[in-house]
Amino acid sequence: MPIRFRCKYCDQLLGIAHRKIGTEVRCPDCHKMVLVPAEDAPDVEEATRKGNPPSEGGDIDAPPQRFIASPAGDQSKGAGAPTYSPAAPAPEPFDGEPYRLPAPVAGFVLSPWHTMLLALAALFVLVLAFAVGLLVGRYLL
């Protein structure tokens, strides 16, 4: 059974094989990269267990219901209630020099023309060795 989760950008329901856990896949709807979670998303599990078809009062076009966490200062619920924490501030832009690939190592590079000439020379040497072996075998033995 595939893992079912929602795209964090467009909320598209995605299903993918278990072997893709922990990898990034491209959302077919918004074409952004999404990390495959280790298990089904809670809202997807609940919907698949209930099997809430449109004929039983479910609305196929309605957006999925999401959990909305309360602010951190609101402690009206029990101690186990989840609290809202704002996202971490964006990192400062990096002023350093961007990473540069190391220079290629100087080596022996053959052009296609030189490769063909080398192959023809090797073929000529093989034909010559065969001919010499044939002549030696025929006249000396």
Question: Would the pLDDT of 70 be above 80?
Answer: no
| Cβ neighbours for 118, distance < 8 A, ≥ 6 positions apart | 110
Question: How far is residue 44's CA from residue 66's CA, in Å, rounded to a whole number?
Answer: 11
pLDDT on residue 27? 92
Q: Model-level pTM? A: 0.32
Contact between 34 and 21 under an 8 Å Cβ cutoff? The reply is: no
Beta strand pairing call for 3-6 and 13-16: antiparallel
Alpha-carbon span 13 to 74, nearest angstrom: 32
Amino acid 57: pLDDT: 47
When comparing pLDDT for 74 and 24, which is higher?
24
The Cα–Cα gap between 53 and 98 comes to 53
pLDDT value at 128 more than 90: yes
Q: Which of 30, 25, 24 lies closest to 11 in space, CA to CA?
A: 30
State what percent of residues in the chain have pLDDT above 70: 65
Average pLDDT over residues 44-60: 50
pLDDT value of residue 125: 98
